[in-house]
Amino acid sequence: MRKKVQTVIEDTKYVVNGNAVKLSKGETFTLGVTLPYNSSCYSQLVDSILYQAKSKGYQVLLLPTYYEEETESNYYTLLEQKMIDGLILTSRTKNDHLLEPLRFKGKIVSTEKMDNEELTMIYPDRKKAYDQLFSTLHTRGISKVMFTTKRSADQSQTTKNKLAAYEAYFGKAIEGEHYFTTIENYEDGRALAAEISARSSIPEVIYVNGDDTAAGVIFGMKQAGFIHKKDFTIIGEGNLPYSEILSFSTIDFAPQKIGASAVDFLLSESERLVQPEEPTIIWR
């Protein structure tokens, strides 16, 4: 009988329907991960998720959102329709209201802090890191500090927290003078350097949201005749090789640990978890 069945399979070129098999088992062995877009600031987190999922026998579906709420909402239905077994959220729009009813239909974990304490979060305590950083700079007698972000304060809680921490130690922050938005990569860093170097006064410290951006600032400032650690000091985020090679300070937000923990939560029996991870400021 086995030989007859095998002959029919070969003659008809039959291929097993993987979706049907997964449906019959009630599991897809696939985890969804929403992220705004492909960027170096998410690379360590995504790598950690991919590795941990693979080690547990799961595959990962990356879901780019470009901060579009409708796109995010459409991805959430994948969980509701049982097309994925769990959903990991990275940076997103402020749409906690969409997640509240959905959490009863599948497992969701956010890798950044959300306002709704009923939702699962495994996230870096960025607010604490910002306060520690600006407090240290203020204690050291530094007064001219500039920082950058990707999104504005009304779009991002992260930016709002960074802005509040800055103003607690250095007074009112004016966009375009004390901080810049829409900054996110190496080329943005070079463009920012060109703008800064044209000013009559160079900031003592430039704190940027990404080590690749920091590398761009260093190169751009060098072209304009300003040397890192002599004319200004740069601080980045991510603890990428850039920071070690170019010897600048950075903040490690523990993405590897958070990514692995997010996968472990989705595959566990736990129903809810709120777990802040403490970032590390690496001074160089």
The CATH number of the domain holding residue 35 is 3.40.50.2300
> What domain count does the chain have?
2
Nearest to 78 by CA among 90, 70, 86: 86
Q: Give CA separation, 4 vs 7, 10, 65, 96, 244, in Å.
A: 5, 10, 49, 56, 64
Distance CA 90, CA 137 (A): 29
Whether residues 51 and 119 share a domain: the answer is yes
Whether residues 90 and 152 share a domain: the answer is no
Whether residues 115 and 134 share a domain: the answer is no
Whether residues 92 and 174 share a domain: the answer is no
pLDDT < 50 regions, the chain: 17-18, 20-22, 24-25
Flag whether 34 is in a domain. yes
Flag whether 89 is in a domain. yes
Whether residues 27 and 118 share a domain: the answer is yes
Flag whether 283 is in a domain. no
3-state class (DSSP) for residue 237: strand
Flag whether 84 is in a domain. yes
Mean pLDDT of the chain: 91
Flag whether 8 is in a domain. yes
Whether residues 162 and 237 share a domain: the answer is yes
Given this model, what pLDDT does residue 2 score? 83
Report the 10 Å Cβ neighbour count for 101: 10
Look at strands 233-237 and 274-277 and give their pairing. Answer: unpaired
Flag whether 282 is in a domain. no
Nearest to 228 by CA among 254, 208, 255: 208
Whether residues 118 and 135 share a domain: the answer is no
Domain range enclosing 156: 126-252
Flag whether 165 is in a domain. yes
Flag whether 9 is in a domain. yes
Q: Where are the beta strands (DSSP E) in the chain?
A: 30-35, 59-64, 86-89, 108-110, 121-124, 145-148, 179-180, 205-207, 233-237, 249-252, 274-277, 280-282
Distance CA 29, CA 60 (A): 9
Given this model, what pLDDT does residue 24 score? 46
- Residue 94 tokens read as 């402020």
